Structure 1
Amino acid sequence: MTRMRSEPPAPVPGPPADPARLLALYDLRLRREARPDGPGCRIERTGAVVRQTGPAHAWNGVLWSGLDARTADAAIAGQIAHYRALGLPFEWKLYGHDGPADLGERLRAAGFVPEEPETLLVAEASALPAEVPLPPGVVLREATGEEGVRQVVEVHERAFGTDGGPLRRALLDALAASPRTVTAVVALADGVPVGAARLELYPGTGFAGLWGGGIVEEWRGRGLYRALVAHRARLAAARGHHLLHVDALPTSRPILQRLGFTALTTTTPHRYG
């Protein structure tokens, strides 16, 4: 998600080696103190819940909650009522350390459908490989306009088998509203898009997010994914964002950990509507 305030990045206190400290920092800066991630979006704090509400094509959902066994069910019902009144499907982003311990069971009982669990990984940008060689004939280009976004969406649809329409709209909006904090990168093999990924900077936090890394099937296993990670890490560090985070699927987690990322917890999207 994109943070669009323009204040300078906050310094990261001390060495980022302790996973518990990193997780606490992540929770504070990117969840409890979340900023809107696109035009027309707003962050709302209601009780012990932090959520984002925006247009239908934007990401809508719960970013953070500080619940216990007494308050969880009422908070869940409150979020369902909020988004239902707006006619919006939404997501509860459940992390492995969120309370109460049975929050996932309570969400499923209320009608949420869990998606595939992901792993929250964090790394210091300077600790990652500075460069990964590209296969012959492949170049990386920033996607800054309609054609570049079309190429990113084409890769997304071919790599993940999903409709890229919402991504196209959200990416065009983000690039128009906040080009300094959102960068889309496409890998071109003799002019054909074969890989793509996004970098999102969160001003004032010290963090940057790596999102949407995808490689079309026939180009997997040739180093393109690693090259896209290294390229975005260099961009983030050059812009003063020294901590990178990724929500990694099982397919990408081993690659990222070999590059130097540390696993902090799990995150499981729970969809409603």
Structure 2
Amino acid sequence: MPEDINGKERGKGREAAFAKKRFGQHFLTDKNLLNKIVRVSGVMAKDCVLEIGPGQGALTSALIDAGAQVYAIEVDKDLTGALQERFAGSASFELINADALAVSFTSLSTGRGCKFKAVSNLPYNISGPLIFKFIAERDAFTSMTLMLQKEVAVRLAARPGTKEYGVPSVLCQTYFDVSLEFTVSRNLFTPRPKVDSCVIGFKVLPSPRARITDEAFFSKTVKAAFSQRRKTLGNALKTLGFNTEKVLAALHRVGIDPKRRGETLDIQEFAALAGAFLEP
């Protein structure tokens, strides 16, 4: 998953002064772009929206203007006071001062009595772990519209047989419809990051794209297949703890050539393979 991307701070403006590298903060203030994000997200009046890393509240404001009830999670205590002041008196805003990775989205959804649409310009330094958390707690959401580093977004939407295709691609596309929406230039952020960003959409599927009997083992199988990209499946899958005979038998059972590599398998093949290992 992505490494932290630390952009150089430019200028002496209010946004640059507030941005902290340790939180992966890059603020976006272009109103036309913010409204475009809201439109792409499909947020409508009365929708429950979860925003992670609201920063100074620019996207938050656009979401509230669209009629959403916004639940914003912000870890930076230097920003929470300004956010509370900006949205003081608004019944459409609730601020949660916490680390998003430590918050149970499932409990939050249950407690607020609604499923969320997540709409966020995700902090760069936690975007990878958050994607896996969204997968694990997907029942709390109907959709996610996220701003990510472009290279990360491309990876999540990658197809089999491409160099970008990997574990995140398989797992995201197993549980979501994934769509690249539009690219956002690095020049529109303060401070300016080193890479362009991309808005990517995830629509939660009612059930996984393939039949999966054990989600944890399915994930483990996918990770094993990509653990040594230059190795064939016959060798890479030994990291699951099975001997050569068991690995070859499972591959043979589902008609997959042991000489293939993980990046050539589609979701249905990964699901069938994981199931074959679990058969007696």
TM norm. shorter chain > 0.5: no
- Higher relative helix content: 2
Q: Which has the larger radius of gyration?
A: 2
Q: TM-score, normalised by structure 2?
A: 0.29
TM-score by length of 1: 0.30
RCO comparison, higher one (Cα < 8 Å, 6+):
1
